[in-house]
Structure 1
Amino acid sequence: MIKELIVVEGKDDTAAIRRAVEADTIETGGSAINEDIYRRIELAQERRGVIIFTDPDHAGEKLRRLITARVPGCKHAFLQKEDALYKDDIGVENASPEAIRTALANVKTDFNPAESEISWQDLIEAGLIGHPQASQRRLEAGKLLGIGYANGKQFHKRCRMFKISRAEFEQAIKELAKRGL
């Protein structure tokens, strides 16, 4: 049984989580989150902790940002898009139990971004911003670091938010080089 409550977008996500692990969920009903849901998430964070596990798409990322801004200190689980894809639909509900367990095993905790070791200049020098293959490099680096795909600004924020260490960052960049990216 996972101690924390897992915040998901809907009923199908809850069903997918329960196929993979024993856990309790809070369903937001999508990105139209209301005050009652926020209060439930705040209470859950105080009493048991929260893992935000939204779809790896624009709406899921927006919901993740909204919850993080309102309820600090949440943990985050990230699925890769290819693990959440069925036909043209991207969502937690499409992920295999193994992909869900892997994402939950690699949960990241939200920290104060001011404590970061990774600078914007580090991202530029690593070819994650302003490089012809920057998008692909961020996709692969996000997989290696367990923080998911994001545009340059969000990638930098996640490195700071999840306290990615210089050693972790450098190891990921070395792995990109080995892969020819």
Structure 2
Amino acid sequence: MEEKIKLTEAVIVEGKYDKMKLSNILDAFIIETNGFAIFKDKSKLSFIKKLAKERGIIILTDSDHAGFMIRNYISSGVPKEQIKNVYIPDVFGKEKRKDTPSKEGKLGVEGMTKEVILASLEKAGVSSTSSVCDNPITTVDFYDLGLTGGANSKAKRKAVCKALDLPEFLSTSSLISCINNFMTKEEFFDLCQNLD
């Protein structure tokens, strides 16, 4: 039997099928938000906050609008240093158990392969012991590269997300945080030059 990745942080997912998927890959405490039910479930939210304080949380929601709404709602109540955001790439298709694709046509966490999930965790600095970046990318770098403050900055950021296999809805700060987790400043500058 394959060994599961043991995590000390609690993993927050949207639904039971996501939880079932991750249970086969991770040896971790996994909590489901039951989709948008988290918005009304104050006791579950306070439990997530408690877990974040005690052991840290990993948020792994789908890369559609709904997933980002849930992620942002949880993130707004938890200190940044207690959260690791893991993003799955935008993959279009439908889950086997569903008759039709989701509204945005993207696969959710449950539809991802084990390899994609492991790669997403690694990008967020979760599975491996990642050293803290000593020369991180900053908002100033983003501005210098035309990724913020320019006429077509949004399109450029979208191209960066696509090149890095990250979801298109990432905020600028989330994108910077992701990049700092899995590449050096030099690698990022090279990537941006090749996009032009």
User: TM tier, shorter chain?
Assistant: 0.7 to 0.9
- Tell me if 1:139 matches 2:155: no
Aligned to 1:76: 85
SS at match of 1:31: helix
Q: TM-score normalized by structure 1?
A: 0.75
SS at match of 2:37: coil
- The one-character-per-residue Cα deviations of 1:105-142 (angstroms, maximum 9, x if unpaired) are 23259xxxxxx8622x533432324338425423146x
Aligned to 2:67: 60
Q: Cα offset for 1:3?
A: 1.2
- Tell me if 1:101 matches 2:118: yes
Aligned pair in 2 of structure 1 residues 30, 4: CA closer, same or farther (>3 Å)? same
Contact 2:14–2:35 (8 Å) recurs in 1: yes
Contact 2:90–2:107 (8 Å) recurs in 1: yes
Alpha-carbon distance between aligned partners in 2 of 1:108 and 1:40, rounded to the nearest angstrom? 24
- Tell me if 1:175 matches 2:191: yes
The structure having more radius of gyration, on CA atoms, is 2
The equivalences for 1:1-181 within 5 A come to 1-33=6-38, 34-72=41-79, 73-82=82-91, 85-86=93-94, 88-107=105-124, 118-119=138-139, 122-129=141-148, 130-131=151-152, 133-140=155-162, 143=164, 148-150=167-169, 154-155=171-172, 157-159=173-175, 164=180, 168-178=184-194, 180-181=195-196
Alpha-carbon distance between aligned partners in 2 of 1:159 and 1:136, rounded to the nearest angstrom? 10
Aligned pair in 2 of structure 1 residues 8, 59: CA closer, same or farther (>3 Å)? same
SS at match of 2:36: coil
Contact 1:8–1:14 (8 Å) recurs in 2: yes
Contact 2:64–2:106 (8 Å) recurs in 1: no
Which AA in structure 2 matches 1:103?
Answer: S
Alpha-carbon distance between aligned partners in 2 of 1:47 and 1:14, rounded to the nearest angstrom? 21
- 38-47 or 126-135, larger mean C-alpha shift: 126-135
Contact 1:21–1:101 (8 Å) recurs in 2: no
Alignment: residue pair count: 165
Aligned to 1:113: none
Contact 2:13–2:59 (8 Å) recurs in 1: yes
Considering fraction of residues, name the structure with more helix: 1
Q: Cα offset for 1:74?
A: 1.1
Which AA in structure 2 matches 1:94?
Answer: G
SS at match of 1:32: helix
Q: Flag structure 2 segments of 5+ consecutive residues without an equivalent.
A: 1-5, 95-100, 127-135
Q: Flag structure 1 segments of 5+ consecutive residues without an equivalent.
A: 110-115
